[in-house]
Chains A and B, each alone.
Chain A
């Protein structure tokens, strides 16, 4: 087992805990950078999709995992980011300006939603955001002159300093663009976590009452969390629009909202890793299922068609995770890692949850 010898208070909030820690992440980054040279364009497209979902996952993770506010409405902010970016591009703005602006617009929309809803807790917040997601779907159809309604919009090719970035034309370059955004978002997320703001998020998540007693302004903190979370989600939405090429209201339905929330639960709430693990599951599951199905069909000599298989498999995986590993994939990984670090002193109940008993808020 490694013991880290800390010589300053800042060591507690360093990016990396020790040298090897830094080495592994830099090695991962290096592999990700050279990936387009090693993989087929199709596989690169899939990896790009995973990265885009991870950005969206980090967006919602900041709100749900870090601040403890359940949201079933994040597809609405994917939509805001996506439409804002493409509309600004169509208005003649270069991507390098329209993309951050899309994030800012989505963030402002999030703050606007947060102001009336920060008084709500738990399920009531989930319901309010659910309503927002449904409303957004319908509003896109109603605002047809702007959004193209059910016919949708076409995402123009991205051009940065004369270089074209296209999902199909130059998949490698588009992948690097997405990777760059992912790295920047990870850095931003990590810095939020280390800052007083991130600590106030965690305080609000763990106990609103004690956070208030420590001098945290709850309403303001929640509003900031909403804004940052929806801004990141908006950036993911803008990339998603370019990845899909063409999009309409159906691209951002309530199902996507639900999927985003379920994704980070599978991945592991409250960690950046969780967003990535969840994104890998969500983005690659349809592909895996269809590959398995074709393989099975070849063996049996028939074509198997079971509609709705993806969401059912997704649901089943999720049920198993919630029952047997509520901390998600990342939680399982931590347990395995601890087992080897402490070998042979790992105890079974090391990560045992404290049981709690419910009390109602209803008085009648």
Chain B
């Protein structure tokens, strides 16, 4: 039963990583850019919800502040792309990586200045309640996390493969110039995907904040989610979820069976090994570079 309990809590953690990784992958899939500030997007989404919901701030009902937070993160993503990132159009990937790292610094500072650096917990109706399945005790928050993540992954997967806009997004990343010729508004598509990714980050943030207290530096969790995205295969939506769950499961089991100090290394060791032996992840999207 111990093992099962570890498994479920790891699964819930892994789903949060998977959700953040989903944000990375969305942007990568549609724009070939990597958003190193994705963890900080999640942090911002969590803090907006917290600022709207908690009694010491605005005190709105939880189910009203959630859609507001998701919508405002979507708007944030759209405006960020429209006002800042569009100027970078055509520059190298590494320049964009550096820009998003710097953006992360600024967001962390802004959140700290507004909501303080002390850990705060979100007053969420799904926090701190238990659900029993037979002998297994699950937190209601964990159940929510797992279901929302799977639901979102499935929806986004079909969105990318079945809808017109989703296919347009893929086309825009595969060959920008050809996509222009086909009449795809590539710039607007980019802004839309950043908005979508901001919304996914907000959902991840709300779920993460329901599982425990948050402070502005939780954005660094993004690095772990990043590892998840790479392990699963960058550019693959189910891969992001798979990678997230793998990282989430390794953590509790490693700390259960391996000495402290070594256990926290495990996710990164796995990341490194994956990069060396299977550089494009478990569900690889790259076949061979063509000249």
Contact = CB atoms under 8 A, between A and B. Distances in A.
A130 B224 CA distance: 11
B255 interface: no
A135 interface: yes
A295 interface: no
Contact of B279 (A119, A139, A364): A119
B261 to A, nearest CB: 5
Interface string A219-250: 00000000000000000000000000000000
A131 B272 contact: yes
B227 A131 contact: yes
A265 B95 CA distance: 9
A212 to B, nearest CB: 10
A357 interface: yes
A160 interface: no
A355 B90 contact: yes
A312 B98 contact: no
A312 B109 contact: yes
Contacts of A358: 31-32, 90, 173, 175-176
Nearest to A124: B279
Interface string A46-67: 0000000000000000000000
Interface in B204-253: 216, 223, 226-227, 230, 234-235
A318 B102 contact: yes
**Chain A contact residues, majority secondary structure:** helix
Interface string B177-188: 100000000000
Contact of B223 (A130, A139, A142, A360): A130
Contact of B103 (A131, A265, A319): A319
A356 interface: yes
B269 A312 contact: no
Interface stretch (B119-127, B134-142, B281-289): B281-289
B94 interface: yes
Contact of A362 (B89, B262, B286): B286
Interface string A109-143: 00000001101101110111011101100110110
A102 interface: no
B96 to A, nearest CB: 8
B84 A117 contact: no
Contacts of A123: 34, 93-94, 97, 234
A183 to B, nearest CB: 29
B62 interface: no
A13 interface: no
Interface of B: 31-32, 34, 84, 87-91, 93-95, 97-99, 101-106, 108-110, 112-113, 117, 173-177, 216, 223, 226-227, 230, 234-235, 261-262, 264-265, 268-269, 271-272, 275-276, 279-280, 285-287, 289, 291
